[in-house]
């Protein structure tokens, strides 16, 4: 039962050929094998149910076909769709994906990077959960190609795929301003990273362009879950004068904020408009009155895998080294805002 695994030499023995010939049949080259010999080898392989040992192959070839992927949290649909995109492309290209969660912690990030180095990963795709450049430097020291996703790290000049977060937020605010809103609240990420800072900057720039003065109390921190948005929404609704619109820095907290509005007995969008940045929670069904700036997260994953594989094969064109994807405004609340209240 607990018998030794079938190796290439076993196949060679049964087929009555040399081990090298078996290799050349298995790999379809680089040497020619006569039709007759090939047939003998193939039937021996089938008879023994021989599976080439990828570990031995990897050691000999000094390279693997595995790609390391680190995302902060697979519970967050934004990241799980990215992981899906990475896996699909990797699979189609014969790569296999190691999945790690950083939980936004740099020590876990670093552990995974070090594991990937040990495992001789062919490349790494990675959504940084912190600003620490150590992990990136490690990969560089070991010449492992990598792509940063969604966020960049200050001082690290690496291949990356990001989203134009500045314009995503800018468009969201402009949309609301066009509808006549003046008091626009913004739920921001509690601990800032490059992408959340960009969104906040887009928010401020849009206000600035419209000549609306910035009110710091309208910027409320909140996590990215429904309950976080709910709580942030409650804080926002308690402000005076009450904002007439809320932008969530992601779609889930926007939906949570929307619930807070409804629970407070107010209507969306007649009393308070809500806009989410990103739209993975399928708002057209769950929140038909919520406008969103849709971010192509699946595309981020699939594209990053595609480009990483090009990078591994040293075929990545320079102009694709840093790609920035645009979000798309999906308008679902065309209703005009309420008439200005007395304090305006």
In the complex, which residues of this chain contact DNA (CB under 7 A)? 4-5, 7-9, 16-21, 23-24, 26-27, 30-34, 36-37, 50-53, 56-57, 59-62
> β-strands 291-294, 322-325: how paired?
unpaired
* Cβ distance to its own copies smaller for residue 128 or 301: 301
* Cβ distance to its own copies smaller for residue 107 or 178: 107
Contact 79, 46 (CB under 8 A): no
Q: How far is the CB of 118 from DNA (least distance, A)?
A: 9
Q: How far is the CB of 68 from its own copies (least distance, A)?
A: 9
Question: Of DNA, its own copies, none, which one does residue 119 interact with (CB within 5 to 8 Å by kind)?
Answer: its own copies
Question: Of its own copies, DNA, none, which one does residue 188 interact with (CB within 5 to 8 Å by kind)?
Answer: none
Q: How far is the CB of 69 from its own copies (least distance, A)?
A: 8
What residues form DSSP beta bridges with 273? 245
Residue 94 CA to residue 50 CA, distance in Å, equals 20
Helix axes 19-26, 8-15, angle to 10 degrees: 110
Q: How far is the CB of 156 from its own copies (least distance, A)?
A: 18
CA neighbor of 112 nearest in space, from 89, 154, 146? 146
Q: From the centroid of its chain, how far is CA 82?
A: 4
Distances (CA, A) of 192 to 160, 197, 198, 260: 19, 6, 10, 24
Question: Of its own copies, DNA, none, which one does residue 80 interact with (CB within 5 to 8 Å by kind)?
Answer: its own copies
* Cβ distance to its own copies smaller for residue 208 or 313: 313
Q: How far is the CB of 120 from DNA (least distance, A)?
A: 9
Cβ-Cβ contacts under 8 Å for 310 (sequence gap 6 or more): 316, 317, 320
Q: How far is the CB of 285 from DNA (least distance, A)?
A: 49
Q: How far is the CB of 95 from DNA (least distance, A)?
A: 16
Radius of gyration of the chain (CA): 26
Question: Of its own copies, DNA, none, which one does residue 336 interact with (CB within 5 to 8 Å by kind)?
Answer: none
Residue 90 CA to residue 69 CA, distance in Å, equals 11
- Which DSSP symbol is given to 182? -
Residue 109 CA to residue 105 CA, distance in Å, equals 6
User: Using CB under 8 A as the criterion, which residues of the chain lie in contact with its own copies when the complex forms?
Assistant: 1-2, 5, 49, 51-56, 58-59, 64, 66, 69, 73-75, 77, 80-81, 83-84, 87-88, 91, 96-101, 108, 111, 114-115, 117-120, 141-143, 225-227, 230, 255-256, 259, 263, 282, 285-286, 288
* Cβ distance to DNA smaller for residue 62 or 143: 62
Distances (CA, A) of 110 to 116, 117, 121: 10, 10, 15
Residue 187 CA to residue 13 CA, distance in Å, equals 69
* Cβ distance to its own copies smaller for residue 112 or 203: 112
* Cβ distance to its own copies smaller for residue 1 or 216: 1
Question: Of DNA, its own copies, none, which one does residue 7 interact with (CB within 5 to 8 Å by kind)?
Answer: DNA
């Amino acid at each position: 039962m607990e018998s030794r695994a079938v190796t290439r030499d076993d196949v060679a023995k049964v087929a009555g050929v040399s081990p090298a010939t078996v290799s050349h049949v298995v790999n379809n080259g680089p040497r020619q094998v006569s039709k007759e010999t090939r047939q003998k080898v193939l039937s021996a392989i089938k008879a023994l149910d021989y599976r080439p040992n990828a570990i031995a192959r990897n050691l000999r070839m000094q390279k693997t076909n595995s790609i390391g992927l680190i995302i902060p949290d697979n519970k967050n649909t934004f990241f799980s769709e990215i992981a899906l995109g990475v896996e699909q492309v990797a699979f189609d290209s014969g790569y296999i994906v190691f999945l790690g969660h950083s939980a936004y912690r740099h020590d876990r990030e670093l552990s995974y990077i070090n594991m990937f180095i040990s495992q001789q990963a062919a490349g790494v795709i990675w959504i940084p959960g912190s600003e620490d450049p150590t992990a990136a430097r490690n990969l560089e020291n070991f010449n492992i190609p990598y792509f940063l996703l969604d966020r960049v790290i200050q001082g690290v000049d690496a291949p990356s795929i990001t989203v134009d977060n500045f314009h995503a937020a800018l468009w969201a605010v402009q949309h609301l301003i066009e509808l006549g809103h003046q008091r626009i609240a913004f739920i921001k990420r509690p601990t800032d990273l490059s992408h959340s800072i960009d969104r906040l900057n887009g928010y401020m720039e849009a206000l600035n362009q419209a000549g609306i003065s910035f009110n710091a109390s309208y910027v409320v921190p909140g996590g990215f879950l429904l309950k976080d948005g709910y709580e942030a929404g409650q804080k926002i609704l308690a402000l005076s004068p009450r904002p007439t619109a809320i932008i969530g820095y992601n779609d889930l907290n926007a939906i949570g904020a929307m619930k807070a509005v409804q629970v407070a007995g107010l209507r969306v969008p007649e009393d308070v408009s809500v806009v989410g940045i990103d739209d993975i929670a399928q708002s057209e069904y769950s929140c038909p009155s919520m406008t969103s700036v849709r971010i192509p997260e699946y595309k981020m994953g699939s594209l990053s895998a595609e480009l990483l594989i090009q990078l591994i094969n040293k075929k990545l064109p320079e102009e694709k080294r840093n790609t920035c994807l645009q979000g798309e405004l999906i308008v679902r609340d065309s209703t005009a805002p309420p008439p200005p209240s007395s304090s305006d």
